[in-house]
Amino acid sequence: MSSKRIVLSSDHAALALRAKIAEHVTSLGWEVADIGPTTSESTHYPLHGAAAAKQVAAGEARFGIILCGTGQGIMMAANKVKGIRCGVCSDAFSARMIRQHNDANMLSIGARVVGEDLALDIVDAFLTAEFESGRHQTRVEMIE
């Protein structure tokens, strides 16, 4: 697996924002595996969240970025997969903190909650932050 591979997925509510995020992370040098739906036909976010999470858990991607209307439901589905630490973020500070303090390997965004520019700032904060380890490592181990 490339350490610069990201898996993206969403439900029907987030097609346009997922496409913008895919374009953005590709421009940053990441390889993107976009496994989400391609039409606006109603679909089930738990299936898409779990599919992306399974790729991250299996080491097929370094990170996962998933989206649905609020980001909440798809995040809950992803977190059911062993080894996944996914947080839903509506601001860059939270996205940075879930990487630095929780060693999050997946990010969830609500396409009906944040606009495109803010979503890209959230993605950038998530991707550039580094896990701080130390006292946080013990807490991550407790989560697992």
Q: Rounded CA gap, 65 and 47, in Å?
A: 14
Instruction: Tell me whether residue 101 is one of the annotated catalytic residues.
Output: yes
Active-site option among 12, 48, 68, 86: 68
Lookup: tokens for 42: 């109603």
End-to-end Cα separation, the chain, in angstroms: 23
- Give the H or E element holding residue 52: helix 45-57
- What are the CA-CA distances from residue 26 to residues 22, 30, 41, 94, 141 (Å)? 6, 5, 26, 23, 32
- Give the H or E element holding residue 76: helix 72-78
Lookup: tokens for 104: 């999050």
Active-site option among 12, 24, 86, 101: 101
Instruction: Tell me whether residue 89 is one of the annotated catalytic residues.
Output: no
Cβ proximity of 43 and 37 under 8 Å: yes
Please give the positions annotated as active site: 68, 101
